[in-house]
Structure 1
Amino acid sequence: MTDQPTKGPASYFPSIEKKYGQLISAWKDKVRARYPAKPMELVAMLKDEHQMGHGHANAIVAHTLAEDGLK
């Protein structure tokens, strides 16, 4: 069996951790601390408060919401 590459939002996680210096679990905690905000409000928070790029912020928010059954 061959290893399949990671797809979807999680495919960004290694570069997010490297670029922003925190584990994905820490970013997810930041997102969850802002519940029940709307998805784009959560993306804006990561961009505005943590200078994260839109694609990276969106990947974290989308994955976190899906994991929590909110999307």
Structure 2
Amino acid sequence: MTEKAVKGPASYFPSIEKAYGRPVGEWQELIRSSPLTKHMELVAWLKSAHGLGHGHANALVAATLAEGR
């Protein structure tokens, strides 16, 4: 058992891809290209404009914003 379980926001990625039919990379590019910068603004935008559920939107935003840290 050398494989580590994926934890944190990335643990949502397989279900996000399955549920919405787009790779996580595409969602992250949308987030990066958005004029919005605040976490909850981005979550609300993904939910309203793209139909994502709260947990999925939150995971995508958290992972994407963490890249810049």
Q: How well do the aligned residues superpose, as a CA RMSD in angstroms?
A: 1.2
Q: Which runs of 5+ in 2 are unaligned?
A: none
Counterpart-to-counterpart distance in 1, 2:50 and 2:62: 17
Which residue of the partner structure matches residue 28 of structure 2?
28
Distance 2:61 2:36 in 1: 12
**Runs of 4+ in structure 1 displaced over 3 angstroms?**
none
Aligned-residue offset at 1:33: 0.9
List alignment gaps of at least 5 residues for structure 1. none
Q: Is the 8 A contact 2:47 2:53 kept in 1?
A: yes
What TM-score, normalized by structure 2, do the two folds share? 0.93
Identity, in percent, stands at: 58
Give 1:35 shift. Answer: 4.2
Q: Normalising to structure 1: TM-score of the pair?
A: 0.90
Is this contact kept in 1: 2:27–2:60, CA < 8 A?
A: yes
CA–CA separation in structure 2 for the residues paired with 1:19 and 1:36: 24
Deviates more, 1:29-38 or 1:54-63: 29-38
The residue aligned with 2:56 is 56
Q: For residues 42-53 of structure 1, what are the structure 2 equivalents within 5 Å?
A: 42-53=42-53
Q: CA deviation at 1:34?
A: 1.4
DSSP-derived class of the 1:6 partner:
coil
Instruction: Output the CA distance in 2 between the equivalents of 1:61 and 1:21.
Output: 18
Q: Which residue identity does 2:62 align to in structure 1?
A: A
